[in-house]
């Protein structure tokens, strides 16, 4: 059976939803092993093992979680070689895409990013040219390397906790590699991470600096708050909330667009959402072309009404 290597750039005390999705997808493709970039406590390792993973690969020179893409790519390349993996699965962040590209060059293998569906013969479905086209493609050379969008594959229920065997592999970190010298914790909002959220309420130029109604609706729905580049560039919300071609790509079950025109750069980051609801005063706004439901109106009137009704019904 094919060996599937899943790369987990561990950053938490327990498995994130996107990590569980990758492990679940890997389990449908073959025998799963894991490459772990950083240190992890026993509870995390037991969680990995609960998905049938029997081996975890780690660098013998210490964690590579404090180095940027070059060091992680070097480690992951060795993990593929040692494990004999025929398939490599990664997340879909900008960093993961660059790591995948570097590993592809090292292994002379094909890479497919932004995967939202996968057939049994490893034919992947993805969006190209800023979402203008949906294409099907397969890797025909070397190891199949895929970066997978979150919220596109179901995370199956974990089994009983089980500690996988840890295998240390030698890794030569490039001497000129960039390193992380400090971290600043992001303020805790109580909302889910944008890339993993099942519900996202996003605002653009139309919010005019006031994200309050969007935050209220997101909290009522248990969702996250996102934004267009225009809103982040204006300083109305942090850049980590940006969705689009130059921001994050998301695939929630429900995406509510408020005051966003829906230019192609923004569509590229959210058009794989299962249900899209658009709110805009301009009836000719491009966002209505891809919306499942559209409301022509003032977001400062529509959103508070929606929030009140949701809370009234206890949804």
Residue numbers in the known binding site for FAD are: 205, 228-229, 242-246, 280
How many angstroms separate the Cα of 141 from the Cα of each of 25, 193, 249?
21, 34, 27
Whole-angstrom Cα distance, residue 28 to residue 119?
Answer: 11
Residues at the binding site are 205, 228-229, 242-246, 280
Closest-CA residue to 204 (of 231, 242, 243, 238): 231
Helix segments in the chain, DSSP class H: 17-29, 42-49, 69-83, 94-107, 212-221, 229-233, 264-267, 299-313
Burial class from Cβ neighbours inside 10 Å (0-12, 13-18, 19+) for residue 27 reads middle
How many angstroms separate the Cα of 298 from the Cα of each of 176, 213, 305?
52, 12, 11
Whole-angstrom Cα distance, residue 74 to residue 60?
Answer: 13
**Residue 142 DSSP label:** S
Whole-angstrom Cα distance, residue 200 to residue 131?
Answer: 19
């Amino acid at each position: 059976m094919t060996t599937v290597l899943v790369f987990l750039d561990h950053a938490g005390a327990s498995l994130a939803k996107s990590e569980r999705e990758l492990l679940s997808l890997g389990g449908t493709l073959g025998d799963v092993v894991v490459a772990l970039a950083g240190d992890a406590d026993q509870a995390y390792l037991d969680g990995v093992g609960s998905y049938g993973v029997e081996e975890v690969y780690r660098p013998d020179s210490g964690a590579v979680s404090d180095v940027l893409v070059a060091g992680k790519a070097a480690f992951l390349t060795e993990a593929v070689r040692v494990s004999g993996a025929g398939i490599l699965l990664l997340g879909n962040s900008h960093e993961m895409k660059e790591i995948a590209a570097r590993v592809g060059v090292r292994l002379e293998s094909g890479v497919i990013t932004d995967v939202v569906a996968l057939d049994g013969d490893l034919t992947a479905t993805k969006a190209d040219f800023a979402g203008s086209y949906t294409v099907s493609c397969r890797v025909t050379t070397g190891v199949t390397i895929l970066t997978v969008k979150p919220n596109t594959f179901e995370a199956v229920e974990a089994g009983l906790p089980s500690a996988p065997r840890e295998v240390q592999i030698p890794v030569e970190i490039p001497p000129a590699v960039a390193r992380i010298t400090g971290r600043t914790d992001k303020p805790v909002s109580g909302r889910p991470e944008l890339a993993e959220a099942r519900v996202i309420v996003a605002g653009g130029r139309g919010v005019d600096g006031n994200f309050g109604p969007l935050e209220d609706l997101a909290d009522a729905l248990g969702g996250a708050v996102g934004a267009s580049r225009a809103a982040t560039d204006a300083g109305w919300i942090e850049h980590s909330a940006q969705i689009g071609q130059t921001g994050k790509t998301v695939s929630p079950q429900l995406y509510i667009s408020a005051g966003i025109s829906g230019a192609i750069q923004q569509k590229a980051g959210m058009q794989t959402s299962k249900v899209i609801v658009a709110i805009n005063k301009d009836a000719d706004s491009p966002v209505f072309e891809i919306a499942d439901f559209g409301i022509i109106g003032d977001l400062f009137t529509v959103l508070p009404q929606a929030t009140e009704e949701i809370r009234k019904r206890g949804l």
